[in-house]
Structure 1
Amino acid sequence: MKSLLSSRPVLWFLFLFNLVVALAAPFVVDGAQGIATSIGMGVVSLGAGLGLRKGGGRQQAQHV
């Protein structure tokens, strides 16, 4: 599972999808729930972006 989550296509999907949801949530959901959703999705997007920046997915997955 770790090798799947650290692959570049999955990281790009997580980064872009969560970024879009984080930007749209305050407009779609009212009040504190929209803000909390935006913050949570933003954190996930930031984590995926950092994984991309670190070079996630560049190494071959080692199967044991």
Structure 2
Amino acid sequence: MKSLLSSRSVLWFLFLFNLVVAVVAPFVVDGAQGVVTAVGMGAVALGARIGLLRDDARRLGTGR
């Protein structure tokens, strides 16, 4: 499972999908539920983006 979640294509999908949902959720879902959904999906998108940045750093040889 770890190798699947660390593949670049899955990370890009997680980043883009969750970012779109985080932006759209407050307009589709009313009230606090929309805000909480946006924050949660934004956190997942941020985590996927950090994973992509770490992968890029490893490929360039500048990361750990």
Does the alignment reach a TM-score above 0.5? yes
Equivalent-residue separation in structure 2 for 1:2 and 1:13 (angstroms):
16
Over 3 Å off, 4+ runs: none
Equivalent-residue separation in structure 1 for 2:12 and 2:48 (angstroms):
7
**Which amino acid in 2 is paired with 1:52?**
L
TM-score normalised to structure 2 length: 0.86
Equivalent-residue separation in structure 1 for 2:50 and 2:16 (angstroms):
13
* Structure 1, unaligned runs of 5 or more: 60-64
Correspondence for 1:32: 32
Equivalent-residue separation in structure 2 for 1:48 and 1:21 (angstroms):
14
* Structure 2, unaligned runs of 5 or more: 60-64
**Which amino acid in 2 is paired with 1:20?**
V
Correspondence for 1:13: 13
**Which amino acid in 2 is paired with 1:39?**
V
RMSD over aligned CA atoms reads 1.5
